[in-house]
Amino acid sequence: MPGMRAVIKGIGSAVPSRIMTNHDFEAILDTSDEWITKRTGVKERHLLGEGETSSTLATTAAKQALENANLKPDDLDLIICATVSPDMPFPAVACLVQDAIGAVGVPAFDLSAACSGFIYALSVGSQFIETGKYKRVMVIGVDALSRFCDYTDRGSCILFGDAAGAVVLEASEDQTKGIEYTVLHTDGSGWDYIHVPGGGTAKPTSQKTLDDGEHYVKMRGRDVYKFAVEKMQWLLGDCMEKCNLSVDDVDLVVPHQVNIRIIESATKKYNFPMDKVYVNIDRYGNTSAASIPLALSEAVAAGKAGPGSTIVMVAFGAGLTWAGAVVKM
């Protein structure tokens, strides 16, 4: 007898209301709207405002996903939150969300895989359903890297925005729907390509770590770029090959919104027409673990994906991590 499939029953997303445009950066950095637009595709990004945190964004997205799924908080069996920018080192953002939505007693934990985090969490969440352990799993991707950005470093701070996205996975016997395939990879030898050196057990916060700016994101932009193009190309090829899909069979590619040039060079390799590639990087920048569920939620709302659609998701990030998924809506 075939096992259970994990289908996406509801989707939600949230962004803070404060917007920072490229022109706002011109006022504080030696940069220009033209440079940022041409090199990254980003025009503006939403950043946390006063009183907002990763968990407040994640809670809004989670409530929306529950409503969209027509479910109540106590219908959930598990909450997984992918993030590298928690409200505090511990407890997990997932615990704060569990409390805020009133999912009393539901197990909740965070997963750290940076920009690949949502696909990692989707893979973990779907396993709990496929094994029959749980019926409904909330998978959240949230990051607010604005809190870790050095706004004097023009090579990194212009890229990132804050957001959250969430899906509710539900068990189904329908084998034509749901999470069809996931692929996860890591190369820890590239840990220093993108990292925050201070504030952990290696370099606990001290006056020196603060003076040295070690609480900020450090990024080897050009190295990350090369890695990203190669892995995004590989992931697209692997997802299509393993699921026996041609470009025509894929309704939509939802890539990690990292840099328009990276997205274009990866999808061009397989001749994906750009109308089959969801792009919203111009409005949000790189929102790390939130990027894919935010894009998915917009794509569904815009009618670019819906029941019956075949979607390929690809992401990579700090770790180094990279991950892909094929989802039948």
As a whole number of angstroms, the distance between CA 208 and CA 304 comes to 50
Closer Cβ to ligand COA, 138 or 217, answer by number = 217
Round to whole Å and give the CA distance between 239 and 86.
Answer: 30
| C-alpha Rg value of the chain to the nearest Å | 19
- Considering beta carbons, is residue 39 or 203 the nearer one to ligand COA? 39
Distance CA 238, CA 165 (A): 25
Which residue among 22, 68, 259, 286 is the active-site one? 286
Cis peptide before 245 (omega within 30 of 0): no
Going through 15-74 in order, the beta strands assigned E by DSSP cover 19-21, 44-46
- Smallest gap from Cβ 30 to ligand COA, in A, equals 7
C-beta closer to ligand COA: residue 178 or 255: 255
Active site residue 115: yes
Angle at 328 between CA 271 and CA 278, to 5 degrees: 45
Least separation in angstroms between residue 202's CB and ligand COA is 21
- Which residue's CB is nearer to ligand COA, number 115 or number 312? 115
Please state the closest distance from residue 47 (CB atom) to ligand COA, in A: 16
CB of 2 to ligand COA, least distance (A): 36
215 included as an active-site residue: no
Place of tokens 């990087």: 281
Query: Is the Cβ of residue 10 or residue 285 nearer to ligand COA in the bound state?
Result: 285
Please enumerate in sequence order all residues whose Cβ is within 8 A of that of 327, keeping only pairs 6 or more positions apart, or say none. Answer: 8, 178, 179, 180, 310, 311, 313
- Which is catalytic among the residues 22, 95, 157, 256? 256
Pick between residue 35 and residue 270 the one whose CB is nearest to ligand COA: 35
Binding site for ligand COA (CB under 6 A): 31, 35-36, 39-40, 115, 154-155, 158-159, 194, 219, 221-222, 224-225, 228, 258-259, 286, 317
How far apart are alpha carbons 111 and 114 in whole angstroms?
A: 9
Cα separation of 274 and 183, whole Å? 24
Closest separation in Å from C-beta 246 to ligand COA: 28
Shortest distance (Å) from residue 25 CB to ligand COA: 7
Who contacts 245 (Cβ-Cβ below 8 Å, separation ≥6)?
239, 310, 312, 326
Q: Given the residues 95, 115, 149, 157, select the one marked as catalytic.
A: 115
Residue 286 bears catalytic tag: yes
Calpha distance 7→284 (Å, rounded): 27
**Catalytic sites, residue numbers:** 115, 256, 286
